[in-house]
Amino acid sequence: MGARAWTAHPFTAVEAVTGPLPEGISSEVDVRNNRRDMTGASVITANRLLDGRIVWLAPQGWSEVISQARVFDNAAVEDAIKQAKVAADAGTVVGIYGVQLDPEATKITPLTVRERIRAFGPTVHPDFAPVETPHVH
C-alpha cells in the first residue's frame, strides 16, 4: 500500500446526502428560454432522456427534426406544454418548454439564436445538423 496523505474520511455514499442542485442550473427551465409574445406561434421542445438529443413535439410523439413539429398558437401553447408534461411518454424526455417561432420565416424557424442553434445544430459544425430524414416515434 502506498503512502496516502489523507485517510481520515471514509467514502460517503453519494445518495446519503442531499442538498441544493449544483451548477447554476435550476430544476425548472430557464425562464429566458420559455418566454413568448401574446401573439404568434410556438413549438414545444425537450431533450430525450436516454441520449440527451433535442426533440420537438410532433403530431405523434417526439421528433428529432423541427420541421416535423406541431405548431401551436401562443394562446394555446401553455396548455399544450402542461399536457405534454403529463402525457404517457413524458418520462422519455426532460425539460419540456415552448419555443417561439419567427413569423417571417418560410419554414419552421425559432425566433432566438439559441433556439435556432438547438434546432439546426452548432453553427461551428454544419456536419452535426440534425438529419432531415426523420423517424417520428
Give the Cα separation of 52 and 75 in Å (integer): 29
Task: Please list every residue from 36 through 65 that binds other proteins, using CB under 8 A.
Answer: 47, 49-54
CA dihedral 35, 48, 90, 13 (to 10 degrees): -100
Give the Cα separation of 68 and 91 in Å (integer): 21
Contact stretch for other proteins (CB under 8 A) within 10-18, 37-45, 58-66, 73-81: 10-18
Shortest Å distance, C-beta 3 to other proteins: 2
Contact with other proteins (CB under 8 A) among 88, 91, 126, 132: 91
User: In a 3-state reduction of DSSP, which class is residue 31?
Assistant: helix
Q: Does the footprint of other proteins cover residue 124 (CB under 8 A)?
A: yes
Give the Cα separation of 80 and 74 in Å (integer): 10
Give the Cα separation of 81 and 43 in Å (integer): 9
Q: Does the footprint of other proteins cover residue 23 (CB under 8 A)?
A: yes
Q: Does the footprint of other proteins cover residue 86 (CB under 8 A)?
A: no
State the residues that interact with other proteins by CB under 8 A.
1-6, 8-9, 11-15, 17-25, 27, 30, 32, 47, 49-54, 91, 94-95, 111-114, 117-118, 121-125, 128
